[in-house]
Amino acid sequence: MLYAIAAADTENGLGFQGQLQFHIREDLRRFAALTRGHAVIYGRKTLETFPGGKPLKDRENIILSRTPGYEVEGATVVSSVKEALRVCGDDAFVIGGGSIYRQFWSLIDVLYLTRVHIAAPHDVTLPDINKDFVLTETSEILKDEKSGLTYQFLTYTRKAG
């Protein structure tokens, strides 16, 4: 199965000026719990948003980059979707950024989304979720004590056909 995981605002905004829009502790905990022990596929720009710009611990890190000779210690660098899928096997999470989600979108089976209930400035978005997926699980509305933001954990499954 190929999964995707993201946090997005009410307009599917993911990030702004090279940074994530939100830092919600419970979202980060959910991300870690779901992805730990799995392969994660992401782009170079997403790597740069990680602490110290280093690959994630306890995961097989696969970085998709078009830069010839690009290397990252602790990660496998690939240059195509096909190569990423060959490397990761049957069970992986696509974790960003926007262009990576778009390249894998038609292949994703399940999307784990943290929907943050605000329209924030963004320059990176997810594709239209409702066009390709059906909502299958919804959490109660939660509130981040630090930021005051409300959000929900949503699970979408690819529409049949």
**58-82 residue pLDDT tens:** 999 999 999 989 999 999 999 999 9
pLDDT at 51: 86
pLDDT tops 80 at residue 90: no
pLDDT at 137: 98
pLDDT in tens, 95-118: 999 999 999 999 999 999 999 999
pLDDT at 65: 94
> pLDDT confidence of 20, banded at 50, 70, 90?
confident
- The letter for the amino acid at 99 is S
Count structural domains, the chain.
1
The length of the chain in residues reads 161
What residue numbers bound the domain in which 16 lies? Answer: 2-158
The token duo for 18 is: 């090279």
Beta bridge partners of 61: 40
> pLDDT confidence of 160, banded at 50, 70, 90?
confident
Helices (H), 36-96: 44-49, 81-88
pLDDT in tens, 125-137: 999 999 999 999 9
Q: Compute the half-sphere exposure of residue 58: CA atoms within 13 Å on the CB side of its CA.
A: 7
Give pTM, 2 decimals: 0.95
pLDDT at 148: 95
The token duo for 23 is: 């830092």
> What's the CATH code of the domain at 114?
3.40.430.10
Find, among 19, 11, 5, 14, the residue nearest to 124 by Cα.
Answer: 14
pLDDT at 83: 95
Burial class of residue 108, CB neighbours in 10 A (0-12, 13-18, 19+): buried
Cα 88 off chain centre by: 16
